Amino acid sequence: MLENFKERVPVKEGLFSWSKEPHGLIISKCSTCGELVFPKQEYCPECCTETMETEILSSKGILKCFTGITAPPPGYKGTVPYTVGIVEFPEGIRILGITTEKTVDSLVPGMEVEVVIDTAFVEDDQEFVTFKYQPTNMRRD
């Protein structure tokens, strides 16, 4: 269905690894104090050093909480309704993201989710992709 689009590009460079599986979010880890930061950045917000190293997180985490969005926030170009959730990764960082589910009906706190790459919106013949959390019990292989 999406083969017609000219180009598939990430909404922002450096947020996630997306060209090959498994997909993972790109973070910075401070080699001085161990602080984890997403999105990646050069300065540690905790100890103010520049000793950040880039790492790719595990592709799976635990959905801690979530909510449904029915009115698009300013600047949002995707479709509504949609859901967002906070996922805790094994490395010890919690990151907010969109889930693949349109409503919260199929979401349960504590369920395992996987980072997948999906359409954020389409504009000027370009498909912009972003990371989303997909429950692993709904995997579409």
The one-letter amino acid code at 111 reads: M
Tokens 């029915």 locate to 70
Q: Residue 67: helix, strand or coil by DSSP?
A: strand
Measured in degrees and rounded to the nearest 5, phi and psi for residue 95 equal -135, 130
Cis peptide before 135 (omega within 30 of 0): no
Q: Which tokens hold the place of 124?
A: 């000027």
Q: Nearest-CA neighbor of 136 among 92, 95, 100? A: 100
> Which of 41/126 has CB closer to Zn ion?
41
Q: Closest separation between CB of residue 62 and Zn ion, Å?
A: 25
Question: Closest approach of Cβ 40 to Zn ion, in Å?
Answer: 13
Least separation in angstroms between residue 54's CB and Zn ion is: 14
- CB of 51 or CB of 100, closer to Zn ion: 51
Which of residues 24, 27, 28, 35 is near Zn ion by CB under 5 A?
Answer: 35
Determine, following the binding rule CB under 5 A, whether residue 31 of this chain makes contact with Zn ion. Answer: no
- The reply on whether position 29 binds Zn ion by CB under 5 A is no
The CB-of-45 to Zn ion minimum distance in angstroms stands at: 8
Candidate residues 21, 39, 41, 46; the one interacting with Zn ion per rule CB under 5 A: 46
- Which structure tokens are listed for 141? 């292989």
Distance of CA 31 to the CA centre of its chain: 23
- Residue 32 found at the interface with Zn ion (CB under 5 A): yes
Looking at residue 59, its amino acid is S
Residues near Zn ion (CB under 5 A): 30, 32-33, 35, 44, 46-47
